[in-house]
Amino acid sequence: MEKKITLASESIASLVFGPADEYLRQIRKAFDVRVSARGEEVKISGDSENCAKAAKAIERLEKTGKKRKEVSPEEARNIITQVSKTDLDPSAYSIEVYSHKAVVEPFTDGQADYLKQMIENDLTFCTGPAGTGKTYLAVAMAVSMLKKQQIRKIVLVRPAVEAGEKLGFLPGDIEAKVNPYLRPLFDSLEDLMEYGQMRKLMSLDVIEIIPLAFMRGRTLNEAVIICDEAQNTTPSQMMMFLTRLGRDSKMIVTGDLTQVDLEARNKSGLSDAIETLSDIDGVGCCELSRNDIVRHNLVQNIVKAYERRKEKLVEKVKREGMI
């Protein structure tokens, strides 16, 4: 099979190819294909599946180059490794959004399963470490459904729990007070649609970003409701949130069970809900791992180091006969 790709410009092509065509050499080795380049044109030949993967790696390198105006050796290595590890066809799980990205696709098998669970179920729980795309893909799914007019509203919810430090009383009106807690949700939205469009939809209440405490007493029809950082809910808060689900709506609940900021005596509402509801029809559960991390490559190593440290502490306690 032979596949041709035309890159946006020669300057972008130089970023994609890397210093002295180093990234193209990595692609040849990783996917066992022949790659030749002239100007903005790239020609890939070899096994059809390997060609498709090599083309996907080049497309992702191009996206990174366009967005950041550079592609570091570490970023290139990370992209090529992620594409080589996955067996999925990303286009089968692509979702349309409003921004210049046009579509959002999963980087890993775990992310593809997450998208599948969200499509097939009205309630989806997703757990996993930082950087696995839990929040981003949930917001992308909601934005895609809004664009297709499958829903009328997006509601993004977060518990207002501080990560180990007390911020005290924050100045300003209610929006200013809760904004620091909800900032990660704004970041995801801003990447999926133009800023002006996002502000307009928020002013029309089509997109609503609120603290969990403001959910009581509501029923949300024809909406996608996302609860982020749900590991910091209590079981009673989680039950209150889940029972807001209305007609023709979807709920997506995300969190990292290794980063619970509740007081020690409180059980996480996220883990409690998964234990209680995972066997019910219409409820999907997805657990992402450090292999699904798509942030800076260092994040994966940080998570791995903490996991090793935790395992060593457990082994030490066992040896000392304390458990």
Rounded to an integer, the average pLDDT of 53-70 is 86
Distance CA 51, CA 1 (A): 7
Domains (ranges, CATH) in the chain? 2-85 (3.30.1370.10), 90-292 (3.40.50.300)
**32 falls in which pLDDT band (50, 70, 90)?**
very high
- What pLDDT does 296 receive? 60
What token pair was written down for 49? 């599946």
pLDDT at 30: 92
> What would the 3-class secondary structure string for the chain be?
CEEEEECCCHHHHHHHHCHHHHHHHHHHHHHCCEEEEECCEEEEECCHHHHHHHHHHHHHHHHHHHHHCCCCHHHHHHHHHHHHHCCCCHHHHCEECCCCCCEECCCCHHHHHHHHHHHHCCEEEEECCCCCCHHHHHHHHHHHHHHCCCCCEEEEEECCCCCCCCCCCCCCCHHHHHHHHHHHHHHHHHHHCCHHHHHHHHHCCCEEEEEHHHHCCCCECCEEEEECCHHHCCHHHHHHHHCCECCCCEEEEEECCCCCCCCCCCCCHHHHHHHHHCCCCCEEEEECCHHHCCCCHHHHHHHHHHHHHHHHHHHHHHHCCCC
Between 74 and 29, where is the model more confident? 29
Query: What is the Cα–Cα distance from 231 to 260, expressed in whole angstroms?
Result: 6
Of 130 and 243, which is predicted with more confidence?
A: 243
The residue with tokens 């990595």 is: 26
pLDDT digit string, tens, across residues 270-302: 999 999 999 999 999 999 988 888 766 566 677
Would the pTM of this model clear 0.85, i.e. be above it?
no
